[in-house]
Structure 1
Amino acid sequence: MAYDLQLSHIGKVYANGTPAVIDFDLDVEKGEFIAFVGPSGCGKSTTLRMIAGFESITSGDLLIAGRRVNDLPPEMRPTSMIFQNYALFPHMTVRQNVMFGLEVKKLAVAEARRKVERILDKLGLTEVAEVRPTRLSGGQRQRIALARSLVIEPDILLLDEPLGALDANLRKSIQNELKLLQRELGITFVFVTHAQSEALALSDRIVVMNGGKVEQISPPRELYTRPQSIFVARFIGSNTLISGQVRQVGGAGTMIETPFGILQAEAPPHAIAHGTGASIVLPAEAIHVLPGRMPEAEIRAIYGANVIPCTINRLQLVGHILQIGMTLPNGEAVSLEGHADKYRDTLSADSPAFVAWHPADATLIAQ
């Protein structure tokens, strides 16, 4: 298969010997929307800058459309990059900003003008084409940056926290526009963000990085529901982790001895041995909270072994979402959210309850 972008054992070590990116492998198909997420300093922006050519590569190979581009300068690569601060020229009008890249490429004037007018129209910027960016809103400046990057018709668009400076409502609106635009143009997008919600909403696949290494590469739903490491389980979403040791494998499933008794999980896709330390990872959406007045035997008839008594200590309604704070028997605090209708008139603060879940909704990760 021909890929738009390939990173093969890519590494970056700074002059002082500090590794920034370690043995990074990724194959990106044409038209994919890839998001990089991870804590600050994990190497995601460094990786993006290596793809763009703004950062040198210490080891490995970087291929774009099958061509090795390790030593190719940024202006010679079929990529375009949008920075968080947009890097617009304040002394130029919107039209001049968008035209700039085509002038650098020395495109014929008539053709350049046609391309500029087409992209201005597509992004709703025609009416402000003669205005300078400093007089426009954050959303309009973001569109200018997009127009300037897209007008040169790159094979790959690189975006480094491009929505970070926008307020929440505008950010959501631009997210929707960005995804629709990417689908329409069919251009490969590689997107760095600190916002998990953006990555989960926009991307086809998400790369989770930690300490310069790739922890997991998965589609959003798989990443959210089936983390492959303890780091990903703690970093993505709102998960509760219950540690224990594997006591039975096969038959009725995998049984784990925990501080709350024997709990059940589906066997993971990889082999896990008896006696192995493991954690049950429970997404907040998988946990059901049941009032303490319900007979425990009735609850276990539905959920099997996966029933733990708890105490509800906080209920807070935020719009149609009920936030529930609970304490488990070992003193651990657990918080989750659910639709208010699901729990209407069934739960009360400072009262006993049960948390329960179906084995198939949890993920077992070896420690």
Structure 2
Amino acid sequence: MIYDLELINVGKVYDNGATAVSNFDLAVNKGEFIAFLGPSGCGKTTTLRLIAGFESITSGDMMIKGVRINDIRPERRPTSTIFQNYALFPHMSVRCNVSYGLDVKGIAKAERDAKVDRIIATLGLEDIADRKPEKLSGGQRQRIALARGLVVEPDILLLDEPLGALDANLRKAIQNELKLLQKTLGVTFIFVTHAQSEALALSDRIVVMNQGRVEQISSPHQLYTRPNTPFVAQFIGRNTIFSGAVETQANDVARISTSVGMLSGQWNSKAGGSVRGAKANLVVPAEAIEVHAGEGAARQEIAGEYDGNLIDAKLTGFDVVGHVSHLTATLADGRQVSLEAHVDKYRPGRFAIGSDILLSWRPSEATVIPAV
């Protein structure tokens, strides 16, 4: 099968011996929106630069539509790059900025003007086409950068944190426009970001990186609900992680012995089979945890409903932000657990600060993964 982009065991080692990227494998279908996500220094921007040709790879192969591009110069690759600072020419009009890439390629004037007019209309830049970028807003400059990248009709558009300079409200609006534009044009996007919300909202698949290595490649929902590794469990979302040892595994449900009792969740099949006594982590998303009053005779009934996943805790924090209630529960060992749900579910006053509560979750909503 021929992919729009394929990275095969790609590695990058600098002259000083530092490894930036190691054993990177990825196959991207035409029209996919792929996000590279990870902490600063994880190698996501370096990988983007390797694809663009701004950095040379040390090992492996990179293919675009079946053609090996390892030794092809950046300007001859069927890619276009949009940087965080947009890199627009301040002395040029919007139209001239957009047409710059076509001018470099030597496209005839009539064809060039038609392409520029079409992309300017697509991105709604007609009214400012003759103005200079320095006089425009951040959102307008971002659209200009997109137009300049797309007008050359690349097979792959590379975006290096292109929304990082925008304020929160504008960033959200541009996210929506970017996703719609990508689906309309059918261009493959490779998007670098350190913002989880962006990656989860925009991409078809997310590549989570850590210290130059790929930790997991999954759809946003799969990544959020079924982490494969301890790093992903800690990095993505707001998870509570219980460490322990595997006691049993049957019908995809694993039970592990922890410091707060026997707990269960769905075994992550991508981790392979489990071994009794092996160290494991139980990962419980904040949204999966239910809160119950700590007093009363319903304890046994609750434990039965949630297959024994029941923990004693004390409510030590309660805040409402917009329509979301944020609760903090402290366990007997002093650990704090963050919980959240719609305010209709946990209204202020339902549980008093300092009161005893019970925490529960269904095994199907938690994930058990190997500890290492």
Which TM-score applies when normalising by structure 1? Answer: 0.98
Letter in 2 for 1:200: L
Could you list the per-position Cα deviations for residues 40-70 of structure 1 after superposition, in whole angstroms to 9, with x for gaps in the alignment?
1111000000000101111100000000010
CA contact (8 A) 2:94 2:131 kept: yes
Letter in 2 for 1:138: G
- Counterpart in 1 of 2:330? 327
CA contact (8 A) 2:36 2:191 kept: yes
Please report how far the alpha carbon of residue 298 of structure 1 lies from its aligned counterpart in structure 2 after TM superposition: 2.1
CA contact (8 A) 1:263 1:306 kept: yes
Distance 1:230 1:99, change over 3 A: same
Structure 1: segments with no counterpart, 5+ residues:
none
Q: Please show how residues 32-43 of structure 1 align to structure 2 within 5 Å.
A: 32-43=32-43
Percent identity, aligned pairs only, is: 60
CA contact (8 A) 1:155 1:187 kept: yes
CA RMSD of aligned residues (A): 1.1
CA contact (8 A) 2:228 2:268 kept: no
- Counterpart in 1 of 2:122? 122
- Counterpart in 2 of 1:280? 282
How many residues are treated as equivalent by the alignment?
A: 367
Q: Please show how residues 183-202 of structure 1 align to structure 2 within 5 Å.
A: 183-202=183-202
2:350 aligned to 317, 323, 346, which one? 346
How far apart are the structure 2 equivalents of 1:251 and 1:58?
44
Distance 1:335 1:186, change over 3 A: same
CA contact (8 A) 2:267 2:369 kept: no
Please report how far the alpha carbon of residue 305 of structure 1 lies from its aligned counterpart in structure 2 after TM superposition: 1.0
Q: Please show how residues 86-235 of structure 1 align to structure 2 within 5 Å.
A: 86-235=86-235
Please report how far the alpha carbon of residue 319 of structure 1 lies from its aligned counterpart in structure 2 after TM superposition: 1.8
* 1:266 counterpart SS class: strand
* 1:273 counterpart SS class: coil
* 1:342 counterpart SS class: coil
Distance 1:109 1:350, change over 3 A: same
Please report how far the alpha carbon of residue 247 of structure 1 lies from its aligned counterpart in structure 2 after TM superposition: 1.4
Letter in 2 for 1:88: L
Please report how far the alpha carbon of residue 215 of structure 1 lies from its aligned counterpart in structure 2 after TM superposition: 0.4
Could you list the per-position Cα deviations for residues 122-156 of structure 1 after superposition, in whole angstroms to 9, with x for gaps in the alignment?
11111001110000000000000000000000000
- Counterpart in 1 of 2:299? 296
Which TM-score applies when normalising by structure 2? Answer: 0.97
Please report how far the alpha carbon of residue 254 of structure 1 lies from its aligned counterpart in structure 2 after TM superposition: 2.1
Structure 2: segments with no counterpart, 5+ residues:
none
Please report how far the alpha carbon of residue 214 of structure 1 lies from its aligned counterpart in structure 2 after TM superposition: 0.4
How far apart are the structure 2 equivalents of 1:151 and 1:324?
48
Please report how far the alpha carbon of residue 173 of structure 1 lies from its aligned counterpart in structure 2 after TM superposition: 0.3
How far apart are the structure 2 equivalents of 1:43 and 1:265?
32
CA contact (8 A) 2:94 2:132 kept: yes
How far apart are the structure 2 equivalents of 1:252 and 1:364?
10
